[in-house]
Amino acid sequence: MRASSKTRAAILRRSSGRTASSASTCSTRPWRSRHPIIRATRPRTARTSSPGPIGVRGARPGDLLKLTVVDTTPRVPYGVISNRHGRGALPGEYPQGEANVSVFTPIERDEHGAWFGALPLVEGGERGIRFPLAPFLGIMGVAVDDDVRPHSVPPGAHGGNIDINLLTEGASLYLPVQVDGALAYVGDPHFAQGGGEVALTALEASLRATIRFEVVPAETALRDFGEIAGPLAETSEYLVPTGLDADLDLAMQNCVRQAIGLLGARYGMAPHLAYAYLSAATDFDISQVVDLVKGVHARIRTSDFRAVKRG
């Protein structure tokens, strides 16, 4: 599966501030379920689904494209968690048998109407384990400035398969625009994902997602965020700089550097004090370790800077 490059034509165009909806699915094939009214799905390869690209009018290299998650609605009452040989955080240890493993996972509502995933303790047992859902899109990206379309599995400065589980409804992702129109794409829907996505996939399932696209002009982007080398997320509570590398240690270092630069640009914080603050008050989380290029993201509480007057 390939992501977008400058040679790929937009299938849809939107003005800044407008939304687009996508019925996103994981790359799957049918298999029979024990559920009486549905057919479940099993991922067949390490492929991801990424509808697009969407051209955004006015987006130019040097700008940022802001993608805000307006809505994520489950399309089916189940998902699948998969582990395949040679993949995941423990290749060579799991799967333990010859066959790849796909765990069919129905979703249920609790007494308060919240959705949960349900798993058993043993194969075929009662589904007594419940964990909350937090739907998001694992893939959110823009086209690269190249004639060759990059593979959709590893993330990069263009975003792509970043798998940041904070990008739920209301959250935004900022991406450096590389080509005119940005040529954005989204996909790889998840019902839930733990940090690391250690087995290879999270709870993969179909979502109907609505995304709002906004262009942040280069001057405004530089003032608010500084020089951004890759994806930057924002939630109601956090600024979320990222770091990417095939080596997890280097991904962590890249994320720390991005966080220091962000605090300097946004709040005028001296680098040594930003470094100290991050060490005392910021969590650095592993986004995923299974997409060839590993990801780390930081959660900087914006409430800590409430008293700071920005210029």
Q: What is the mean pLDDT of residues 103-126?
A: 94
Q: What is the pLDDT of residues 198-208, one digit of tens each?
A: 999 999 999 99
- What local confidence, expressed as pLDDT, does residue 13 receive? 73
- 5 pLDDT higher than 80: no
Q: Where are the beta strands (DSSP E) in the chain?
A: 12-14, 18-24, 28-31, 40-43, 54-56, 64-74, 78-83, 101-109, 115-119, 129-132, 136-141, 159-161, 172-176, 185-192, 203-204, 207-216, 232-234, 238-245, 283-288, 294-301
- What local confidence, expressed as pLDDT, does residue 110 receive? 86
Confidence of residue 33 (pLDDT cuts 50, 70, 90): very low
In which region does residue 122 sit, left (phi positive, over 0), alpha (psi from -120 to 50) or beta (all else)?
beta
Q: What is the mean pLDDT of residues 97-119?
A: 94
What percent of the chain is modeled with pLDDT above 90? 78
Q: What is the mean pLDDT of residues 241-265?
A: 98
- What local confidence, expressed as pLDDT, does residue 28 receive? 38
Instruction: Give the residue, 153 or 12, on which the prediction is more confident.
Output: 153
- What local confidence, expressed as pLDDT, does residue 149 receive? 84
SS3 category, 258:
helix
